[in-house]
């Protein structure tokens, strides 16, 4: 049976005033087996609505290749929320920010030529128009006036922070209407006049994103609502962590409780985040102001629920506040998913990257290096190999247009690691750091072509920037050339290493210490439970559980353990594979029964 949702002086649901009390739950950061549990807890807190982004890059990882199952089953998520009686806000815009890789934009946008993002000129409009032709017909049947529970959709996300193209937002709005999107529209921006001016769109209610100073923020927003309701579309209840930030970010609970109370006294709210979830695989985003700050794997966010969905004191305090504004559901202490410490597990097999390189895919050959996007690769690592037939030594090296982190090896032994700003300048190699093997690789006699010392450069995409103008410069790998001893070096064998099929690793190959390598662990499980992979003593890399990529690790913290949700485990034998890039490994790993976020 169809209904009606309207924006007038406030929101109206089927003709009656309706206060939106929503929580953000990113389906793509939570395993589908856990969606119902998280949504039930959202309802138990007193919320009547759930909100989610829709990440374009997860659903269309390659141009024209669409994924709608598993983490990508947005329709299942919508149906689950509907069955629980929650109303739904969808944010399907091509750009989501969300501390997500490239802000949700697909990496293949960077594959050819230059592209201007989030403007009305050039190919960007036509690319996401094609995406909308596929996505929006899937969403339209779930709208309230089609008999579903979707009551609002967002046209764009924080556009006033990014640009002010007057044709862009109307084009997006019109495109959505052409595809039978009939519910009311919103936009969301920072609560500052310049942002609101740039993000203004006729036919859409402007809302604000903020985490404090509610009266001040709503006072700025009010003139932009045209007499409509005040809404905080992202009430930031915590914050995200980036590698090396010194400790887990936590919000001020007392101030947050007061701000939530004030928001509900004045208007409507979407709590960001109700549960943050996890940046599985390589999908964390990055920020870049003075330096690169890639986000950690956990998106705990100091949210209302923990990363594994447990009730917090914040949940209980928020529930008390919400109870002042609507009748709460009867309290039933939720059954929490069990946690389990499976203990210490010894390495079963190991192989160096060199020992299994041939099984991971075919290389391509180029005169100069090219970035991974030019080769159809989006995430992971890329290895550039060459022979130094004309060099008498390696004294200086510079990687032009390189990102984000490069492990450089000579004769399959470590030489130097360069990161962020270090990639922008020429590095001098101290002869004292060379091993005997590396020195001996440069004989005094002339060398035949193809017999010179081997140079390898392993470059990691640490997560594309998800905010600001640097988004247009996010190709990964090496974009222009490698300069050795003052001149460009030609003749490269390039190995894309997306690691999207970890079963291709051949552990029967040779292993060497202090070089990039894969490590395999096997352990028994009687009853699957949530657990955490403690990577103490390991350097940098990524982890896979029964073939599923659970995320990155890095010894610099603040995150010290990676979350392994119970549905990834199975009764019987289970497998963990680590890919470690810095040559820092241990004989064991530990599976603990609690997180350690720093």
Catalytic residues: 158, 234
Location of structure tokens 């964390």: 284
The H or E element that residue 457 is part of is strand 454-460
**Which residues neighbour 488 within 8 Å (Cβ) at sequence distance 6 or greater?**
368, 481, 482
Give me the half-sphere count of Cα atoms (radius 13 Å) on the Cβ side of residue 52.
Answer: 28
Q: Which candidate, 74, 80, 77, 110, places its Cα nearest to that of 92?
A: 74
b/e sequence 69-88, b meaning 16+ C-beta within 10 Å: eebbbbeebbebbbeeebbb
- Number of C-beta neighbours around residue 10 at 10 A: 16
Alpha helices in 222-279 (DSSP H): 253-266
45, 77, 167, 262, 429 from 214: Cα distances, Å: 21, 31, 31, 7, 54
Q: Which candidate, 544, 553, 541, places its Cα nearest to that of 505?
A: 544
DSSP category for residue 34: H
Residue 414 structure tokens: 């470590």
b/e sequence 371-396, b meaning 16+ C-beta within 10 Å: bbbbbebbbbbbbbbbbbeebebbee
Q: Which candidate, 187, 201, 182, 134, places its Cα nearest to that of 158?
A: 187
533 CA to centre of own chain = 19
**Which residues neighbour 17 within 8 Å (Cβ) at sequence distance 6 or greater?**
10, 11
DSSP category for residue 513: T
The C-alpha atoms of residue 305 and residue 299 are separated, in whole angstroms, by: 11
Q: Which candidate, 278, 288, 293, places its Cα nearest to that of 552?
A: 278
User: What are the residues facing 478 on neighbouring strands?
Assistant: 402
Q: Which candidate, 377, 409, 397, places its Cα nearest to that of 476?
A: 377
Q: Is 141 helix (H, G, I), strand (E, B) or coil?
A: helix
69, 284, 412, 519, 578 from 350: Cα distances, Å: 32, 27, 16, 4, 9
């Amino acid at each position: 049976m169809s209904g009606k949702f309207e924006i007038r002086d406030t929101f109206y649901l089927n003709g009656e005033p309706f206060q939106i009390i929503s929580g953000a739950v990113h389906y793509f950061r939570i395993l589908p087996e856990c969606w119902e549990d998280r949504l039930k807890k959202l309802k138990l807190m007193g919320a009547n609505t759930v909100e989610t982004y829709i990440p374009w890059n997860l659903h269309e990882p390659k141009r024209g290749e669409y994924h709608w199952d598993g983490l990508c089953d947005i329709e299942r998520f919508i149906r689950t929320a509907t069955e629980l009686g929650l109303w739904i806000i969808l944010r399907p815009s091509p750009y989501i920010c969300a501390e997500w890789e490239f802000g949700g934009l697909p990496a293949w946008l960077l594959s050819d030529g230059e592209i201007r993002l989030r403007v009305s000129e050039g190919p960007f409009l036509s690319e996401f128009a094609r995406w909308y032709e596929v996505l929006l017909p899937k969403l339209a049947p779930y709208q309230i006036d089609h008999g579903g529970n979707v009551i609002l959709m967002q046209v764009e996300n924080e556009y006033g922070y990014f640009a002010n193209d007057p044709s862009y937002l109307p084009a997006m709005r019109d495109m959505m209407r052409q595809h039978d999107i009939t519910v009311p529209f919103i936009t969301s921006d920072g609560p500052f006049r310049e942002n609101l001016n740039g993000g203004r769109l006729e036919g859409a209610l402007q809302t604000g994103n903020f985490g404090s100073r509610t009266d001040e923020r709503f006072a700025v927003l009010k003139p932009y609502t045209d007499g409509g309701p005040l809404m905080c579309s992202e009430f930031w209840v915590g914050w995200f962590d980036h590698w090396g930030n010194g400790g887990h970010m936590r919000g001020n609970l007392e101030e947050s409780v007061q701000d939530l109370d004030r928001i509900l006294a004045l208007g409507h709210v979407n709590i960001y985040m109700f549960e943050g979830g996890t940046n599985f695989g390589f999908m964390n985003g990055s920020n870049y102001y003075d330096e690169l700050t890639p986000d950690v794997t956990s998106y705990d966010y100091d949210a209302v629920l923990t990363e594994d969905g447990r009730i917090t004191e914040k949940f209980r305090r928020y529930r008390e506040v919400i109870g002042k504004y609507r009748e709460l559901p009867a309290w039933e202490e939720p059954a929490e998913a069990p946690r389990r410490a499976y203990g210490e597990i010894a390495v079963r097999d190991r192989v160096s990257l060199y020992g299994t390189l041939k099984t991971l895919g075919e290389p391509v050959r180029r005169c100069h290096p090219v970035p991974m996007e030019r080769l159809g690769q989006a995430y992971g690592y890329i290895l550039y190999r060459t022979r130094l037939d004309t060099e008498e030594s390696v004294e200086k090296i510079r990687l032009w247009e390189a990102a984000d982190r490069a492990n450089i090896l000579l004769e399959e032994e470590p030489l130097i690691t360069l990161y962020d700003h270090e990639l922008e300048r020429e590095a001098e190699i101290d002869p004292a750091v060379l091993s005997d093997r590396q020195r001996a690789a440069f004989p005094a006699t002339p060398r035949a072509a193809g017999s010179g010392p081997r140079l390898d450069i392993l470059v990691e995409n640490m997560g594309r920037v998800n905010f600001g103008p640097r988004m247009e410069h996010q190709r990964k790998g090496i974009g222009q050339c490698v300069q050795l001893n003052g001149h460009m070096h030609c003749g490269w064998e390039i190995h894309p290493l997306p690691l999207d099929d970890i079963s291709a690793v051949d552990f029967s190959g040779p292993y060497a210490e202090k070089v990039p390598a894969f490590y395999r662990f096997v352990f028994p499980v009687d009853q699957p439970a949530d657990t955490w992979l403690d990577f103490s003593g390991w350097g940098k890399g990524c982890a896979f559980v029964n073939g599923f990529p659970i995320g990155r690790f890095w010894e610099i913290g603040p995150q010290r353990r990676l979350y392994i949700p119970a549905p990834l485990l199975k009764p019987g034998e289970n497998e963990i594979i680590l890919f470690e890039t810095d040559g820092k490994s241990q004989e064991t790993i530990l599976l603990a029964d609690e997180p350690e976020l720093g």
